[in-house]
Structure formats: structure tokens, C-alpha cells
Chains A and B, each alone.
Chain A
Amino acid sequence: MSHEFDIVVVGAGPAGLAAATAAAGMGRKVAVLDDNPHVGGQIWRAGAGKSAADRAREQAVAGLESSSAELFAGRQVVDASPGSLQAWVGAEQRLESFQFESLILATGARERFLPFPGWTLPGVFGAGGLQALVRGGYDVRGKRVVVSGTGPLLLAVAAHLKQDGAEIVAIAEQAPVSQLAGFGVTLLSRPGKILQGIRLRAELSGVPYRTGCWVVAAEGSGAVTGVRLTDGTQTWAERCDLLACGFHLVPNTELASLLGCRITETGVEVNAEQRTSVAGVYCAGEPTGVAGVDAATVQGRIAGLAAAGQSAAAASLYGKRDAEVKFGRAMSRAFALRAEVLKLAEPDTIVCRCEDVRFGDLEGNCVPRTGWTDAKLQTRCGMGPCQGRICGPALDALFGWRNASVRPPVFPIPIAALCSAPLYDSEVSIHEPQEISQ
């Protein structure tokens, strides 16, 4: 099956919804694809849980619904080139082809995980991950939960879990209070964000929020039954049923890499109009550098308008976008990782969960590995179904190793689907990075 559109948006989170709605509003024929069965992305994830209601989400979804943009949910993009992409429709076990003039990447972010002893035990989840699972119907009533790692997400997750009936034992934020004080100052310039903070704070009254504190190990046999926490001087045990841990977010840049878009330390490089280094490809939201939902929304709107040829309308939003991005980046800096959380893995700690590659296999039980490709070739690290999406950011943080190449399919699909797909363009196009015209 093949579809033709003026503009295809990948991702139906805040950036993608804003982009699709804006572009469709300018009379363009727009498709928006998402791998989830529901729109909203991760921050506005829908489901059976109680905590999904959010006015910003409702507005964004209503905007899309009242527009002419066509939604294709349950589509996982597995290959793309300027002008066309292939999406895997899991529910129907088939590939679908989309042709377009412009592509807007709004692929969002995922949580960063760092390996520590016990992190592969059942009962250890990502922080945002556990929230997503609860929204999906996981019943956490009466469960004792430790929330740990770093970032403002920890507070939001703890507040929502408590609303859903969990008992929050502690929130352990690895960043020291001195580092967060700067974040507090940034908040003072943004009254809307303070209100959000206060609302969360009230929800969490009575829950210990410890800064400069982190989990050194999850313990239990067969499932987590407790954690060991430290503040750098003392270490103590805390009993719990679940551990929600996340070390801020990393942008999903795989599709942009595949398309040949230039990528910097922060994310996909874009110009003022959210155009990438590849002609006809735009990028909005977290892939361009993690900056949060408000930045993503305005970036998405700019990308949608620009892709629809409405440069003047897009330009009127630059000031708002730049302020939101500045705020988001300041927040990321406030939650910078301390050296200690990068040194928690022991030789037998699994780093690559898909292939069960242990820290010692990488760090010098025999021969220390020299980089991402060497680790892949010698240990199968990063070669499982997640394609290094979980261990990759960890190894980048631990060793500075970067995934050197992204190849299609960017998500695993059955080999039979690849072999039998008449629409699949087997020619992999290589795009030389070009200068972005400003």
C-alpha cells in the first residue's frame, strides 16, 4: 500500500501534533505517523490509567482532529529517504509506503539508562517508563516505589504514581542541591513553570526528596525487593517493590541519522525554520536537543508552517521558540550527571540487556574494547533487537563511545517482510551533509 502526501510528520507527540496541525491548516495534504496506537507521544501518553488527562494534550489532539491531517497510528518507520519512507504496520504484519515532498521528524526522546548492579531485575523500570506502564493499566496501588536518577521527570513521575495509589518511599535526585539552585533561579523567570512545580510539590508533600542521592544497587532474587542508596558518604538500604529510575532523556536521532542529517552533541542540527542539513527534511522537538514539551510544541508549529511555505508566519514564532529552548537547555545543564553514577557497574553487571553483555566484557576482563564498533564485533553489545537504543547512550556516557552507523531497518521487522515487500526500495541512499542555508 502506498500513500502520497505533501508533508509527512513522523511522531504524534507535542511537536508532531503541532507540526501536522499547522501544515494542514495551510491547506497542505498532511500525514502524521506514530508507532504507538494512540496519539500524544510519551509525555501525553493515553491509556486506561487515571493520570492521562492534560489540558495541553486535549487541545493538541483536538487541533489535529479538527484539521485535515490524516493520522496513521501503529506505524513504525523502518526506512526513509528524502521523498519516501517505509513503515511497519505491526497489527497487520505488513509494510506501508509513503511518498512526500517534505518530511518532518518529530521522533521525540527516550530515557537514558545507566547500568548498576541489579538494574535488570524485574521490578526495575524507567521513571517515565513506569508512568507509561501505569497509564497502560499496570496496577501499582499499595506498591512501595523508589524513584531515582535525575531530572524534573522524577518529580512528575512520583506525583503521578502517588495519585495512582503507589507509596513513594523516596525520590533520589543525583544532582547536588547547589547545581539545582541554578535551576530554581531559571524557574523564577517562568511563572507558568513555577505553578507546575508547586502543584507537583503539593502532591508530593511528605515524600522525601533527596538531592545529591542515588541508587548504587537494586537487590532481590528474581525481582527487586530493595535498593541501596547513597549520598556519597553514607550508604543505606531501603525496602521497595518497584524502582523507577531514569537519567534524564536522550533524543531519538536514528531516523535523522539514516537520512544523513547532520547531528551535533545536542541533537539534530536545524536552522531557524527547523530545517535539517538534508533538503526537504525538517526536525522539531526533542531530537534537536532535549528542551521539553513547550519548546517541542512551538518548534513543531514552526516546522509545519515552514514546510507549508509559510516562512513569515513561522518567523513570528522564533522569539517564543528561542526562549523555550533556552529554558529547556538550562534545565538539562542543572541535571548534569555526577561522575559517581557513571561508575556503578561491576564486572558482572549487564550493560547490553538484549545480548547480556557484561561490563567486564567491555572494560577489560581480557582485552578492553576500544569503541562502539569494536564492542559490537567482539561482544555483540548493541546488536540485539533494541539496536543499541538502551546500551548506546549508557556507553556514550560511560566511555564516550558513539554508534557510528545507522542502517535500515531502524527497527527490527520480520525478514519475510523485507523479502516479500514489493514497495521496499532496497537501494540505500547516502546523503552528503550539506551546509544549511540560514
Chain B
Amino acid sequence: MPELNGTGRTVTVRVNGEPVTMPRGSMLVAALLNAGVECRVSVSGEPRTALCGMGICFECRANVDGVPQQRTCQIVCKDGMTVETQR
């Protein structure tokens, strides 16, 4: 079972091509938030970021390693992971 507190190590993911370094165990959505990148554009053109943080609202969805519509709040950051947001 993963126990991720206090390892003191980091991982680096790419958010829209830019490297973002996060504490190991971080969720992908946090990398987007720390980078100041919105997750998606709503159907009427509004920028959106995560709301619920727990897999319910689907506002944090983005393309992760080529797979579209992934809830980034449910995915743990791994080295080399790539996230592309809707822009």
C-alpha cells in the first residue's frame, strides 16, 4: 500500500510542455494548480480549475500521457508524466 508522507523526494511532470517539480505523492491536479494553469475551458468558454478535489466534479480533467478526459485529482504524479490542458 503506498504511504507517501515524509519521503522528502520530488518528481517532475510536464504541464503543457513545461517541467513542474512536485513532492513525491502529489496529485497531478496540484501540479496544474502550482503551475497556475487552468484545467479546461467550459462549453461557453470559461476557464476552469478543480472544484471538489475528490473525483466528483470532473472540472480538473485533462489529457494525461495522451489519454483524454482524465481526472487529474485522482492521478498520482510520476516522473515524466505529461499533461496537456484544453487551451
Question: Could you pull out 18 A-B pairs where Cβ atoms are within 8 angstroms?
Answer: A37-B75, A42-B54, A46-B3, A48-B4, A48-B25, A52-B5, A53-B5, A73-B1, A93-B67, A113-B51, A120-B46, A122-B38, A122-B47, A128-B54, A131-B53, A133-B50, A137-B34, A390-B52
Q: Mark B28-71, 1 if CB is under 8 A from A, else 0.
A: 01110110001000111011111111111111010000010111
**Residue B83 interfacial (CB < 8 Å):** no
Q: Once the chains bind, are B56 and A356 in contact (CB under 8 Å)? A: no
Closest A residue to B49 by CB, please name it: A122
Q: Nearest 3 pairs between A and B by C-beta? A: A137-B26, A136-B27, A137-B30
With beta carbons under 8 angstroms apart, the residue of B1, B44, B56 that contacts A386 is: B56
Chain B residues within 8 Å of A, Cβ to Cβ: 1-5, 22-27, 29-31, 33-34, 38, 42-44, 46-59, 61, 67, 69-71, 73-77
A35 contact set on B, CB distance < 8 A: 55, 74
Q: Once the chains bind, are B4 and A385 in contact (CB under 8 Å)? A: no
Interface centre among A39, A47, A136 (most CB of B within 10 A): A136
Q: Shortest Cβ distance from B63 into chain A, in angstroms?
A: 13
**Residue A384 interfacial (CB < 8 Å):** yes
B42 contact set on A, CB distance < 8 A: 120, 350, 353, 356
Interface residues on A, range: 35 or more
Q: Shortest Cβ distance from A59 into chain B, in angstroms?
A: 14
Tell me whether A356 and B50 are in contact in the complex, defined as CB-CB below 8 angstroms, given that A36-B55, A386-B58 are known contacts: no
Closest B residue to A385 by CB, please name it: B58
B73 contact set on A, CB distance < 8 A: 132-133, 136
Chain A residues within 8 Å of B, Cβ to Cβ: 35-39, 42, 45-48, 52-53, 61, 65, 71, 73-74, 76, 90-91, 93, 110-111, 113, 120, 122-126, 128-133, 136-139, 222-223, 350, 353-356, 384-386, 389-390, 412
B54 contact set on A, CB distance < 8 A: 36, 42, 45, 110, 128-129, 132
Q: Once the chains bind, are B52 and A38 in contact (CB under 8 Å)? A: no
B71 contact set on A, CB distance < 8 A: 90
- Distance of A128 Cα from B73 Cα, bound (Å): 13
Q: Shortest Cβ distance from B64 into chain A, in angstroms?
A: 10
Q: Once the chains bind, are B49 and A137 in contact (CB under 8 Å)? A: no
B5 contact set on A, CB distance < 8 A: 46-48, 52-53
In the complex, besides A48-B4, A132-B53, 13 extra interface pairs with C-beta distance below 8 angstroms are A35-B55, A36-B74, A37-B2, A37-B75, A37-B76, A93-B67, A110-B54, A122-B38, A137-B25, A137-B26, A137-B30, A386-B56, A389-B56
Q: Once the chains bind, are A353 and B48 in contact (CB under 8 Å)? A: yes
A120 contact set on B, CB distance < 8 A: 42, 46, 48
- Distance of A132 Cα from B79 Cα, bound (Å): 22
B67 contact set on A, CB distance < 8 A: 93
